[in-house]
Structure 1
Amino acid sequence: MSYKALALQATCQTVNSYQTRDEVEAVMLQSIERLEKQLVASINFIGRDTLLVVVPEYFLTGSPLHETTEQWREKAALEIDGRIYEALSAMVQRQQIYFSGNAYEQDPFFPELYFQTSFIIGPSGDILLRYRRLNSMYAPTPHDVWELYLDAYGYDSLFPVVKTNIGNLACIASEDILYPEVARCLAVRGAEVLLHSTSEPGSPLQTQRKVAKVARAIENMAYVVSANSAGLANSPIPFGSTDAGSRIIDPKGLILAEAGYGESMVANADIDLAALREFRQRPAAANLLARQRFELYIQSYSEHKIYPPGTLLSQPAERQNFVRTQQEVIKKLYS
């Protein structure tokens, strides 16, 4: 099977300047309405065989700046069964696509926190997969409430993969692309197409994340569909700081398409599932997945503890505490 995927480079309408939940949700709904118009036009131009669309990280809100964890959760973190997800699901049903995005999300098991969540919505409008970002400097992650998170959802929830008629899909959020273990854990669970919502520096230089996307594709013999923001509107951060570079990369590390600066549908390309599966089933030096020897690494990982789990079980999820934890880790690493 072959189909087209689109990494839609869209502007993020930030909500930091708004105070109330109603104001923020109004902005989100306007963003969804505008996004659907872009989807319709893009699919009509690219072709009706465009079956997969990925949009940028926190595309509905931007990220918290001055807000506390409580303030951001109350005004900007989506309710799992709320009207914003309902609006997204209705949009996806109308367009009959697989749609992946990223948002801050409330969780009934952790009412004092939020998690940054990448999701996949299928043509039926159902949410097929939720992936919580695993590495973050200032936001809560499952690792920060480790034992309680495992009790609530189980270990496999950390690395979800969904089997669909357009392949085995998985999400990687933002800078998680810089951690090879994340993509590898998804690949060994069958992931064939890695959907990467990001909001990263737009630069003509070879940035860390540009390198990482190619590396993750090669290492895991997988497609990477990476959508970056086309700027941050209504934000004190300079508008074009996160712009450009949405790209689609094939399992051999070849960049099939890449967008320049500004809102763009240019990052679209064919996903050839048959070729991918044939590549993975061929005995060869290039078949890196079939040549993995995990036993070589297990002891090193088990013997070396770096960033401690469960830190938010004993302290509030505020910026100064995240910084303090990292300072302690660095001191331990280099003492």
Structure 2
Amino acid sequence: MLIDRRQTIAAMLASALPWPHIGHAMTRSPAFAAVAMQLAARSVEAAPDRAAARRQMLAMIEEVGAKLRSASIFIAQYGGSPVRLAVLPEYLLTSYPGRISIPDFADKGAIAEDGPEFEALGRIASSQNLFLAGNAYETDRHFPGLYFQTSFLVAPSGEVVLRYRRLNSMFAPTPHDVWSRYLDIYGIEGVFPVARTEIGNIAAIASEEILYPEIARAHALRGAEIFVHSSSEIGSPLATQKDIAKRARAFENIAYVVSANTAGIEGTTMPLASADGNSVVVDYKGALLAESNSGETFTAFADIDLDGLRAQRRKPGMTNYLARQRTALFAQVYADADFQRADSLIDGNQVRIPDRDHFRRVHDEVIERLSKKGLI
């Protein structure tokens, strides 16, 4: 089915989809814990070839499974509820691409939708009876030569039940860069997917996208109750921009945020602990339930109270920000603010493979448009 190619977030906000009916009002949801696994990402840059990179990634998945199992046992012994949701950090298996060309990294470091890496992650989710969220670079058969940064959720069945492709990126292709074709293939449901599971309605936010309120709100308007956030960011005892944003996205959408940061990045020239620490679980009122210090750890874990969240969403009052939001007010403003143009990688009917500097040039063009409008 073809989708209107001019459809934007503004259009979706104007006709905000009704929240899905969920038959949970009369029964109490089972208690469960969520854990943000703070683990070190491992670069594949030094791997001599594709085969070596794949072996490294699969070996790392096995390590993740063992660490997660141990973490779940400890959490249960510590008095917590059974772990049913685990979130892994951003680009855990490969680190960031750096200056490797787009097609070369797609071949070396991006995994296929039906690849052995997802099969291995599915075995972990199945054997440990949990939902496993993470983030990886992924190829798409519809866009050969490109890759997308994908946040995913694997169910206890072993099936990938959520694929969210990052929409805001400075250095990599996104669905917005091939927007008309992406919408034709996946529709708006594939742009802002929400997985409806026995542990709640789950959506993903990738890395720095936590700084963009519209990403979380678009998911919330489609029913999301828990945001899984895979990140690789600077940790600090001071409040960082992302720290503040995680709490804001939680209370303004009446949703949990489970945010897993890397415990450093191995195999690059960057100092190991540059992106380390401060993994968190934030409740639907914006309160920190748990926060990790530095290093590899599972200490950001907490029980999830879905019944409390759902009761809050149904309660009339000044703090029911979802119910009070008048989305149609903003539709025209967003529609008119067309500064970041779609389809930057579409030439006619062809998808163009960009060089790394393409994204900087596009960014410069956006700044120029904003400047000409007198907005900056």
TM-score of Structure 1 vs Structure 2, range by shorter chain: over 0.9
- Name the counterpart of 1:295: 328
Contact (CA 8 Å) 2:283, 2:289: kept in 1 or not?
yes
Q: Secondary structure at the match of 2:73?
A: helix
Equivalents in 2 of 1:224, 1:317: separation in Å? 34
Select 2:293's aligned residue among 219, 240, 260. Answer: 260
Amino acid at match of 2:118: Y
Q: Secondary structure at the match of 2:114?
A: coil
- Name the counterpart of 1:13: 42
- TM-score normalised by the chain length of structure 1: 0.98
After TM superposition, the structure 1 = structure 2 runs for residues 123-142 of structure 1, keeping only pairs within 5 Å, are 123-142=156-175
Q: Secondary structure at the match of 2:298?
A: coil
After TM superposition, the structure 1 = structure 2 runs for residues 90-105 of structure 1, keeping only pairs within 5 Å, are 90-105=123-138
- Name the counterpart of 1:151: 184
- Name the counterpart of 1:40: 69
Equivalents in 1 of 2:202, 2:144: separation in Å? 29
Q: Does 1:304 align with 2:304?
A: no
Equivalents in 2 of 1:289, 1:184: separation in Å? 9
Q: Report deviation, 1:308.
A: 0.7
Q: How many residues matched?
A: 335
Equivalents in 2 of 1:111, 1:218: separation in Å? 40
Q: Does 1:334 align with 2:367?
A: no
Contact (CA 8 Å) 1:172, 1:194: kept in 2 or not?
yes
Q: Secondary structure at the match of 1:59?
A: coil
After TM superposition, the structure 1 = structure 2 runs for residues 137-286 of structure 1, keeping only pairs within 5 Å, are 137-286=170-319
Equivalents in 1 of 2:51, 2:142: separation in Å? 24
What percentage of aligned pairs have identical amino acids?
Answer: 47
Contact (CA 8 Å) 2:250, 2:283: kept in 1 or not?
yes
Q: Report deviation, 1:111.
A: 0.5
Q: How large is the RMSD of aligned CA atoms in angstroms?
A: 1.0
- Name the counterpart of 2:8: none
Amino acid at match of 1:254: A
Could you report, residue by residue, the CA deviation over 1:225-265 in whole angstroms, capped at 9, with x for unpaired residues? 00000000111111111100100000110000000000011
Amino acid at match of 1:243: D
Q: Secondary structure at the match of 1:93?
A: helix
Q: Secondary structure at the match of 2:334?
A: helix
Equivalents in 2 of 1:149, 1:82: separation in Å? 21
Q: Report deviation, 1:66.
A: 2.2
Contact (CA 8 Å) 1:69, 1:113: kept in 2 or not?
yes
Q: Report deviation, 1:79.
A: 1.1
- Name the counterpart of 2:106: 73
- TM-score normalised by the chain length of structure 2: 0.88
Equivalents in 1 of 2:70, 2:328: separation in Å? 50
Question: What stretches of structure 1 of length at least 5 have no aligned partner?
Answer: none
Q: Report deviation, 1:318.
A: 2.1
Select 1:51's aligned residue among 79, 84, 89. Answer: 84
Could you report, residue by residue, the CA deviation over 1:105-126 in whole angstroms, capped at 9, with x for unpaired residues? 0100001200000000011101
Amino acid at match of 1:184: R
Q: Secondary structure at the match of 1:125?
A: coil
- Name the counterpart of 2:12: none
Equivalents in 2 of 1:237, 1:110: separation in Å? 31
Contact (CA 8 Å) 2:145, 2:353: kept in 1 or not?
no
Could you report, residue by residue, the CA deviation over 1:34-64 in whole angstroms, capped at 9, with x for unpaired residues? 1111111100000161110000001111010
Contact (CA 8 Å) 2:278, 2:292: kept in 1 or not?
yes
Q: Report deviation, 1:156.
A: 1.6
Equivalents in 2 of 1:279, 1:304: separation in Å? 33
Q: Report deviation, 1:205.
A: 2.1
Equivalents in 2 of 1:316, 1:94: separation in Å? 39
Q: Secondary structure at the match of 1:332?
A: helix
Q: Secondary structure at the match of 1:267?
A: strand
Equivalents in 2 of 1:291, 1:98: separation in Å? 32
Equivalents in 1 of 2:346, 2:185: separation in Å? 15
Q: Report deviation, 1:207.
A: 1.2
- Name the counterpart of 1:30: 59
Equivalents in 2 of 1:130, 1:223: separation in Å? 19
Could you report, residue by residue, the CA deviation over 1:262-286 in whole angstroms, capped at 9, with x for unpaired residues? 0011100010011111111111110
Contact (CA 8 Å) 1:170, 1:186: kept in 2 or not?
yes
